Amino acid sequence: MPDPVPPRNSAMAVAASALKAQQSRMRVIAENIANAQSTAQTAGGDPYRRQIPVFQAREIDGATGVTLAEVRPDMGDFRSEYDPSHPAANAEGYVLRPNVDTLVEAMDMREAQRAYEANLNVIETARSMDARTLDILKK
């Protein structure tokens, strides 16, 4: 009879799914920040639209983890600036700017970093508990 396969550590699996989700969130936030000052390619066109990560629960080893389900555009209003000499200005002389607030993005980034760090701590704690359990079983 083959040796039974030990169950995976669901705490580690859930934390790993959260790490991946937060990493994706930070990528989306970085893209928003990078495009915060961009303008439309053509006169009167729309500039970059802020992106919002959407998460979804998923089952992992009998526990509930998380995954990035999609990235949606923020349908909020664009900012407009009067600059008739700008190549992207519309007929009235206004340039549409992205609906990205860099302060909000910075706060979101910090929150994502803290969540990432918390999940790293979960993995480290689970590994430590596994090691201690193995030490106890050896005795």
Digit-by-digit pLDDT tens for the chain (139 residues) are 444 444 457 888 899 999 999 999 999 999 999 999 999 888 878 999 999 999 999 998 788 999 999 999 999 999 999 999 998 988 999 999 999 999 999 999 999 999 999 999 999 998 888 888 888 888 7
Residue numbers of the domain that contains 129: 8-38+50-70+101-138
Residue 65 falls inside a structural domain: yes
Has this prediction a pTM greater than 0.85? Answer: no
Residue 133 falls inside a structural domain: yes
At residue 58, what is the residue type?
A: R
Residue 3 falls inside a structural domain: no
Residue 31 falls inside a structural domain: yes
Q: What is the pLDDT of residue 82?
A: 94
Question: How many domains, the chain?
Answer: 1
Q: Is 97 helix (H, G, I), strand (E, B) or coil?
A: strand
Residue 86 falls inside a structural domain: no
Residue 83 falls inside a structural domain: no
Residue 32 falls inside a structural domain: yes
**CA–CA separation, 25 vs 12, rounded Å?**
20
107 touches 47 (CB < 8 A): no
Which one, of 77, 113, 117, 116, lies nearest residue 97 by Cα? 77
